[in-house]
Amino acid sequence: MSTTLLVILSLAALLVGPMLALVWSRGRAWRAVIDGLSLSLVGGICFLVVFPHAIEVAGPIGFIAIIPGMLMPGWAHRLGEHWERTFVYAGMALLAVHAAIDGAALTLPSTSMGVAVIAHRLPMGLAVYSAASRTAAGQRAGFTAVGILIASTLVGV
């Protein structure tokens, strides 16, 4: 698969997320489905892939890294009420760096890496749009955040 096609597909996948969010915002049931699916997928990947790999690579010291990683989401959620804007900006900066790295990964000769990047772009676009659009700026903030990811991806390419 060509690099150009992979880049176009990854950018399109980022844009599908906000479109789905606009459709799903009409019903609370969809939000619950997406939240449950996201939690299940992230938890499953962590417990079945990331944790065993960390322990295999780092040995027992891997547990030391796993514990804060398990506690951080809860801490962030509790602090989020007071620091929401700060978390959004910090998260956006980190996701922009992540998107640039994804862009660089799309140029690798491995098609499987490109497919993996594309596969996680739809939920990434959905999550970023949803989080940013909850701010006072609404949909404009959501689309701006996704635009930042698109620009960062192109910088990485």
Please spell the DSSP secondary structure of the chain, one letter per residue.
--HHHHHHHHHHHHHHHHHHHHHHTT-HHHHHHHHHHHHHHHHHHIIIIIHHHHHHHHTTHHHHHHHHHHHHHHHHHHHHHHHHHHHHHHHHHHHHHHHHHHHHHHTSS-HHHHHHHHHHHHHHHHHHHHHHHTSTTTHHHHHHHHHHHHHHHHHH-
Reported as a single tens digit per residue, the pLDDT across 52-111 is: 888 888 888 888 888 887 888 778 777 766 777 777 788 889 999 999 999 999 999 888
In a domain, 56, yes or no: no
- Closest residue by Cα to residue 126 from 16, 44, 41, 33: 16
In a domain, 55, yes or no: no
The vertex-37 CA angle with 66 and 21, nearest 5°, equals 120
* Average of per-residue pLDDT across 44-49: 81
In a domain, 46, yes or no: no
Query: What pLDDT score does 48 carry?
Result: 85
In a domain, 53, yes or no: no
Query: What pLDDT score does 143 carry?
Result: 93
Percent of the chain with pLDDT over 90: 31
Query: What pLDDT score does 27 carry?
Result: 65
The pLDDT mean for the chain works out to: 85
Q: How many independent structural domains does the chain possess? A: 1
Q: How many CB atoms lie within 10 A of CB 115?
A: 13
Which range is least confidently modeled, 2-6, 64-68, 76-80, 144-148? 76-80
Distance separating alpha carbons of residues 142 and 3, to the nearest angstrom: 27
3-state class of 16 per DSSP?
A: helix
In a domain, 37, yes or no: no
In a domain, 131, yes or no: yes
pTM of the model: 0.72
In a domain, 97, yes or no: yes
The two tokens of residue 68 are 């804060």
In a domain, 139, yes or no: yes
Distance separating alpha carbons of residues 81 and 84, to the nearest angstrom: 6
Confidence of residue 122 (pLDDT cuts 50, 70, 90): confident
Query: Residue 144 belongs to what domain range?
Result: 3-26+72-156
